[in-house]
Amino acid sequence: MVKFKIIVSDPEAGTSKVVELEEARAVPFIGRRIGETIDGAVVDLPAHKVQIRGGSDKDGVPMRGNVHGGVRRNVVLSGGAGFSPKKKGERKRKAVRGSTITDEIVQINMKIVEKPAAKVTEAKAQQAAK
């Protein structure tokens, strides 16, 4: 049983939306990678384009774009997703997930990269009327 909690962020408005997908609706995400852009209709945002930014598995282990595959690996990190160094030059071996979405991923983070043009012009027209 595949079940994803998808967090879609809107950087322009500074808001986010949570969408839960199960079974057949979640299958299109399997095999996708961090950085891919997909159609927003999959996450209830028709005419939008959304980009996969990351995610985590059931234990909270984060995905990293520079680790290939979808398995959990122990890698030496000096910063970024999965490790915040406390001292300059600090490195540590930490568990992270690869950049490919598998059925073991629970949460997927996405951001809106393209909105429909009609809504933008409509919003500007409303602001100009005020």
Q: Residue 129 — very low, low, confident or very high, per pLDDT cuts 50/70/90?
A: low
Find out whether 55 and 101 touch, Cβ atoms under 8 Å: yes
Q: Residue 53 — very low, low, confident or very high, per pLDDT cuts 50/70/90?
A: very high
Average pLDDT over residues 58-63: 93
Q: How many Å apart are CA 54 and CA 62, to the nearest integer?
A: 7
Taking all residues of the chain, what is their mean pLDDT, rounded to a whole number?
89
Q: What pLDDT score does 76 carry?
A: 94
Q: How many Å apart are CA 9 and CA 111, to the nearest integer?
A: 5
pTM of this prediction?
0.83
Q: How many Å apart are CA 56 and CA 30, to the nearest integer?
A: 14
Q: What pLDDT score does 121 carry?
A: 58
